[in-house]
Structure 1
């Protein structure tokens, strides 16, 4: 498995978890659809399935992310995923991925940086910023790492938190399909993905309480409405009909997700929520 694929898992997580919608029940969620809840979550990552051609026999690791901010100050997401990969020859490699992003509350600006370590040695760094420019809303990107470059992204492109909010809006509105282009700084800051999200039917509070992990029960996820979601990521330039990868998860009305499954085609990774902490939200000072 390439390091870029593992790094993509972190960026996908940023897309999924960047928008944690505040609310104690669906009615409250509808009223506060633009208010985000700071939180810290930990997921244990394991190999779900692998074809023989992948050469992978085991994946074990942990993904940690911390989301903070407000519409006034913007939204920050700091993430880290450490994963040990075992191949068919019995050899192991440790990948340490670190990512930090900041997104302006109105979605006009986005900053990102990520670093990848392979067996404790720095192997890749990406850093840049993007700005949405009027009047046609073209996104201009300036990269400083791994090399200086400037990009122009035409069309309606969403940043991660924008996408998360729109996805939750669609779920609450009862829609079963949401499509969007996403720019999140992945693949050395040069990739835009076409995404198609399939949103399953609403799961009423209390329906799956018996299936929840203890941390999910302790944090009240069983008392919230939720939706099964599946998002396919397609290469916008190639026009592929088959997704580069797909992620499935259960999305709750407070924005928390659990039961992750990241499928790259020749292998898939499962993420189990093991820790969840709601952080104090800062107040906007108008």
Structure 2
């Protein structure tokens, strides 16, 4: 099971004009670092996976005063097969997203059993006048995407705007640097509820920020599709609890034949405007 889908549970800014509540939501967002302990949820026999253990670390910094937002994500997993053979996978993704949603940069590297097997970086520029977005990778021909594609921070901010407005479904194309081009996405958003006690009390929290136990969270099920195919099964799905300050907890990462559970164990809040 290749861990190529680095989940962009990130949050923030682009669609202010499309979503009137975006500015208010953006003001409530909390820059933070979150650590999730990963384990095997379920496994279909066809996957031949007997166990998974690992960790995912996600960090967001920046703001409008910084000119944009940075995200650093790392997923390290140790996967054991049915024949007791094992493989270690280490995927790292760093991105920068302009505060106005115009530009996006990304670098992704992947190691298997300590050996570098892939690295790539790219630059994405939005041309609003021509209603298109272009990806440029070194040594490759540029790839054009639709002009309404969202980057991770903008996508999550727009999703939160939909949740605040009481909408149950949010759909938008997303490019996060993990795939060759954009992915259509569908999100199903539940009614905000108090998070389970074991969820909000599991993490060691540091820095100044809101207590998760004082907030309600939206249950979200986010589906990623391959290309323009919205009729068949999604390529990947993620379930999580989304808090109003942008923190996510109780992750369920569903690769169809394998499901991973992500438990929030550490949460550090950064000061606003920390670039």
Provide TM-score, normalisation by structure 1.
0.86
Aligned residues of 1:216 and 1:222 also touching (Cα < 8 A): no
2:219 paired residue number:
228
- The 1-side partners of 2:265 and 2:102 are apart by 34
Aligned residues of 1:234 and 1:240 also touching (Cα < 8 A): no
- The 1-side partners of 2:81 and 2:274 are apart by 48
What CA deviation, in whole Å up to 9, does each residue of 1:143-180 have, x standing for no partner? Answer: 12xx4321111241111100010011111111101000
1:126 paired residue number:
120
Describe the SS at the equivalent of 2:193. coil
- The 1-side partners of 2:32 and 2:177 are apart by 22
Unaligned runs of 5+ in 2: 14-20
Aligned residues of 2:127 and 2:147 also touching (Cα < 8 A): no
Match of 2:173 among 177, 181, 188: 181
Shift of residue 17, structure 1, vs aligned partner? 2.6
Shift of residue 235, structure 1, vs aligned partner? 1.1
- TM-aligned CA distance change 1:202 to 1:79, over 3 Å: same
Aligned residues of 1:102 and 1:111 also touching (Cα < 8 A): yes
Residue 198 of structure 1 pairs with residue 188 of structure 2: yes
- TM-aligned CA distance change 1:277 to 1:77, over 3 Å: same
Aligned residues of 1:209 and 1:217 also touching (Cα < 8 A): no
1:212 paired residue number:
200
Shift of residue 61, structure 1, vs aligned partner? 0.3
Match of 2:4 among 7, 12, 19: 7
- The 1-side partners of 2:22 and 2:97 are apart by 23
Residue 34 of structure 1 pairs with residue 31 of structure 2: no
Equivalenced residues, count: 263
Shift of residue 81, structure 1, vs aligned partner? 1.2
Q: Which has the higher helix share?
A: 1
What's the C-alpha RMSD, in Å, of the aligned pairs? 2.2
Residue 171 of structure 1 pairs with residue 171 of structure 2: no
Match of 1:241 among 227, 232, 237: 232
Describe the SS at the equivalent of 1:180. strand
- The 2-side partners of 1:211 and 1:7 are apart by 26
1:274 paired residue number:
265
Matched ranges for 1:2-151 at <5 A: 2=2, 6-8=3-5, 10=6, 12=7, 14=8, 16-19=9-12, 32-35=24-27, 36-72=29-65, 73-144=67-138, 147-151=139-143
Aligned residues of 2:73 and 2:94 also touching (Cα < 8 A): yes
Residue 160 of structure 1 pairs with residue 152 of structure 2: yes
- The 1-side partners of 2:264 and 2:107 are apart by 25
- TM-aligned CA distance change 1:208 to 1:61, over 3 Å: closer
Unaligned runs of 5+ in 1: 21-28
What CA deviation, in whole Å up to 9, does each residue of 1:15-62 have, x standing for no partner? Answer: x23349xxxxxxxx9873123321111000111000111010111000
Shift of residue 191, structure 1, vs aligned partner? 2.5
Provide TM-score, normalisation by structure 2.
0.89
Describe the SS at the equivalent of 1:32. helix
2:18 paired residue number:
none
- The 2-side partners of 1:227 and 1:182 are apart by 20
- TM-aligned CA distance change 1:132 to 1:85, over 3 Å: same
